Amino acid sequence: MGAFKTRGGADWTPSYLTDINPATCIGCGRCFKVCPQDVMALYGVDAEGTILGIVTDGDDDDDFDGELNRKIMKVEREQDCIGCSACSKVCPKDCQTHVPVDQLAG
């Protein structure tokens, strides 16, 4: 698959979100807030790094029996990514991995 064209006629190859590095993600939610496709979800993590579950609006530390140590974003619906890269533009930790459309398997 070749490059797409922008409205101005320039070549553009979309890169799709495939992963978020849990070691560098700080769970700030900036990427989630700008994503027009709801590709990511916020997860709670305990002190050992075990994923506790999805954090929803209004959740607090007690929802995970006091085990919540930190929050991270995870790719939840990678098939819905449109390749806009808005998430990577707002991430203060540069923890997303994007793969150009021509390098995706499938």
Q: What is the DSSP string of 15-35?
A: EEEEEE-TTT-----HHHHH-
- The full length of the chain comes to 106
Per-domain residue ranges of the chain? 15-100
pLDDT in tens, the chain (106 residues): 556 888 999 998 889 999 999 999 999 999 999 999 999 999 999 999 999 999 987 655 557 888 999 999 999 999 999 999 999 999 999 999 999 988 887 6
Name the residue type at position 69: N
Entry pTM: 0.81
Q: Tokens 């919540």 map to which residue?
A: 68
Options 3.30.230.70, 3.40.50.150, 3.30.70.20, 3.20.19.10; which CATH number does 15-100 get? 3.30.70.20
Q: How far apart are CA 14 and CA 17, in angstroms?
A: 10
